[in-house]
Amino acid sequence: DGGITQSPKYLFRKEGQNVTLSCEQNLNHDAMYWYRQDPGQGLRLIYYSQIVNDFQKGDIAEGYSVSREKKESFPLTVTSAQKNPTAFYLCASSKTGRSPLHFGNGTRLTVT
Amino acid sequence: GQQVMQIPQYQHVQEGEDFTTYCNSSTTLSNIQWYKQRPGGHPVFLIQLVKSGEVKKQKRLTFQFGEAKKNSSLHITATQTTDVGTYFCAGPQTGSNDYKLSFGAGTTVTVRA
C-alpha cells in the first residue's frame, strides 16, 4: 500500500532543543515538501526538494533544516532558532511540480 | 509571492442546502488545485483545473476555473455531514516554479443536521 509515513504523530520538546521529524514515502515520487499549518491559516511551505540530493527554501525556512539523501526520505529538523515551533507539520510528495500533492498524516509538535 | 484568498473563512450549512466557496488570486495561475482536510486529518487532493473557464464535477461537487485564471469556485449541492471539513485551494506562486504552491487559508464547513 503506497503512501507517506510521518512519525511520530505527537512530539513534545523543551525549548532550546533541536528535533527531527521523519517523513518516508514509497510512491516513487521525485518531489517532497514540508508544510507548516497553524490554526486558521493555510499551509505554508518550509522546504521542498525536486529531486534527491537537492532542496530549496520555501516561504518560512528560517529555523528549519532538511536533507534529501534518499529518494524515499525527507527529514525536517526544527532547530532552537525557530521562534514559534509549536505547530502541525505536514510532509507531502508529488510526481512532478504540477502533480497533486500526497500528504502524510502529520506530526503535531509542541515545544514548551 | 502572490496571495491566494479564500472566502468565506467559515461556512455553516443546513444539511441538504447548497453553498459555494471562492478562491481568488492576485495574479494569473497556471493551474489551481483543491484539497479537503477533515477535522484532525491531513489534506487530501480533490481536483486540479488547468484550462481557462474549465468546469469539473465530482458527484455533488462542482469546481470552476475563471476565464482569466485568477479565481476559482467550489459549489456543493445538497450538503451532507460527510462534507464537513476545511477546503483549501492552492496555486503556483507567480515567478516561481510549479513546486511552490500558495495555499489559501481555507473555508471550514460545518453542517447542521
| Per-residue DSSP letter, A16 | T
Res. B15 pLDDT band, cuts 50 70 90: very high
Q: How far is A20 from chain B (nearest CA, A)?
A: 20
Task: Report pLDDT digits (tens) over A36-76.
Answer: 999 877 899 999 999 999 999 999 999 999 999 999 999 99
Question: Which residues of chain A have a CB within 8 Å of the CB of B97?
Answer: 50, 97
Q: How far is A8 from chain B (nearest CA, A)?
A: 15
Is B59 at the interface with chain A, CB within 8 A? Answer: no
Place of cell 496571495: B3
Question: Which residues of chain B have a CB within 8 Å of the CB of A31?
Answer: 99
Reduced 3-state DSSP string for chain B: CCCEEEECCEEEEECCCCEEEEEEECCCCCCEEEEEECCCCCEEEEEEECCCCCEEEECCEEEEECCCCCEEEEEECCCCHHHCEEEEEEEECCCCCCCCEEECCCEEEEEEC
Place of cell 508529488: A94
pLDDT at B2: 53
Question: Which residues of chain B have a CB within 8 Å of the CB of A42?
Answer: 4, 6, 88, 90, 103-106
Rounded to a whole number, what is the distance in angstroms from the first to the last CA of chain A? 36
Task: Report pLDDT digits (tens) over A3-20.
Answer: 999 999 999 999 999 999
